[in-house]
Structure 1
């Protein structure tokens, strides 16, 4: 089969590889669309520390089942969404229903080969029927579920104020689902171009540059910057009694004054990956027309074309919200 291989940092090759072997408890899928994630750009750039090259990237996946699942949930020919977090099922996090932070998690396209290829074989439990969706929408479910998970973790209430710092795909997803939950949402970034792109997708969200931001504090603040300095500064944006949700994860130490944290009686929340209920919430919102799928999908290519297009987009991410590869 054909696959897009990141042979080493800065090099992509379209190669021929054997089709994956069948495995008990797994289901064979034909990949139809792959969303390109910030992680994929980092892998290409050589900035992903926990990765061995060569690697087939791709974890935002829409695929077509090539066989029935043993549990009867999926029929051959069904369009499905793939949950790319392969978990151990036995660690403490898995036992308490939080496989998103499994102690031995393996993410498709990062810790093991992913979906930038024609076929994959994945655990049946990681496949959800994408009823009523097309491949473009289905390929966006995973990254949107990360924002949806953060919003659910925050427990924000309708009518409250929410600030999302960082207007990339994850931040845009958090802003979208905070709005769906009924919050009055502000989206903030340093890039006017990125904000203009986000405003076209989310016209009901207030978009403002960091330079033009006022002193207002917010009931819930989400950080999606991937910048440790912004993460450390974000506490000052949290209203007294508010919550600070960290969607970003970076190398570095969180550091802010304890008196500032305590006088706010702030709640600090880490949000990692997503759970099945987040995937299903995103798909339900898509089916209800609450997610502007076509506006989010700003760029498209093919498996062959991605070898040229992905490097271009990696170098100019300010004009890309979500790029997809159609197989």
Structure 2
């Protein structure tokens, strides 16, 4: 089978690899859709902190089920996706039901080869039913689950002001689930095209361009000086993350979905006097994945509108430089395998 291998930063090669064979408790999926996420783009540019080269990227996946052992309820040929985080099942986090942050977690396409391939073998326990959803929709379940998990961590209450920093795919999904939770959502980004997308497609209550505006004063105006009670970072940008501490209300919660390599820096007195809560949000749980699928089925969200760029598997590698360019109008790129 053909695979796309990131052999080093900014270099892809197409390699032939043996097609996976059936194993106990494993499923084989014929890949049809591969969503390109920030992790893939950061790996391509050499800024992803958790992986080593060479590697097959890709964990936003959908395809046809070829075979599965010990997967009751799943049928050969059905459209499936998967939870691409494989946990040990025995560490303290797993014992507490937090397999998403397992001490020895292996994420498909990060710690191990992923789905930029014609076929992939995964644990049968990771499979997800499509329940009639399309291939495109199923390839978008994982990034949406990331946002859904962050929103669940924040314990958002109805009518709270929630500031989401970053209007990329993860931030957009976060805004969607904050809206579903009943929040008044504020989108903050430096890209006018993405902010316009938030207004047009997500019906976000407020948008702010961080490059052009006095963010602190605008937030005070929107919230009548209270400031947002929840701030969620989906930028993975250290400058944005550090500024986010200023944007919380007293008693507020700050959730870090975005990931970066550097140290976070903030004023302890300012943080302390707010009795603020800081938490990270890593990956997602099966509960989050199932909530996303259910929300799609109920038409509470229409993630297929996020797809702005497409490429066939055979020429996908050459598009990554373009997809990295923020002026290209990209929201979500989708790689298609039609064979």
- Look up the match of 1:62: 62
The answer to whether the 8 Å contact 1:193/1:318 transfers is: no
Partner of 1:264: 274
Match of 1:285 in 2: 295
| 2:284 maps to 1:274 | yes
Give SS of 2:252's match.
Answer: strand
Q: Check whether the contact 1:3–1:303 (CA below 8 A) recurs between aligned residues.
A: no
CA-CA distance at 1:208 after TM superposition? 1.5
- Structure 1 residue 317 displacement after superposition: 6.5
**Could you tell me how far apart the structure 1 residues matched to 2:5 and 2:34 are?**
14
- Distance in 2 separating the partners of 1:83 and 1:41: 20
Alignment correspondent of 1:91: 91
Deviates more, 1:204-213 or 1:233-242: 204-213
- CA distance in structure 1 between the aligned counterparts of 2:156 and 2:276, rounded to whole angstroms: 13
For residues 1-327 of structure 1, the aligned pairs below 5 Å read 1-210=1-210, 211-212=212-213, 213=215, 214-216=218-220, 217-316=227-326, 319-327=329-337
> What 5-or-longer segments of structure 2 have no aligned partner?
221-226
1:204-238 per-position Cα deviation (integer Å, ceiling 9, x unaligned) = 44222123231421011101121112212212111
Encode CA deviations 1:22-44: one digit per residue, 9 max, x unaligned. Answer: 32211111111110011111111
Which 10-residue stretch deviates more, 282-291 or 206-215? Answer: 206-215
Q: Please give the secondary structure, in 1, of the residue aligned with 2:259.
A: coil
**Residue range with higher mean Cα deviation, 113-122 or 16-25:** 16-25
C-alpha distance after superposition, 1:217-274 (max 9, x if no partner): 1011101121112212212111112211111121222222222112212111211100
- Sort the Cα spacing of 1:317 and 1:287 in 2 relative to 1 into closer, same or farther, 3 A: farther
Superposed CA RMSD: 1.5
Q: Which runs of 5+ in 1 are unaligned?
A: none
| Cα distance in structure 1, aligned partners of 2:150 and 2:193 | 25
Aligned to 2:224: none
User: Matched residues in 1 for 2:155 and 2:173: separation?
Assistant: 16
Give the drift of 1:67: 2.0
Contact 1:197-1:319 at 8 Å conserved across structures: no
Post-superposition offset of 1:63: 1.8
Structure-1 separation of matches of 2:219 and 2:70? 56
Paired positions, count: 327
Paired residue secondary structure (2:20): coil
Q: Please give the alpha-carbon distance, in whole angstroms, between the structure 2 residues aligned to 1:233 and 1:167.
A: 16
Distance apart, 1:318 and its partner CA: 5.4
TM-score normalised by the chain length of structure 1: 0.96
Which stretches of structure 1, 4 residues or more, deviate above 6 A after TM superposition? none
2: distance between equivalents of 1:152 and 1:318? 32
Shift of 1:310: 2.3
- Check whether the contact 1:201–1:292 (CA below 8 A) recurs between aligned residues: no
- Scaled by the length of structure 2, the TM-score of the pair is 0.92
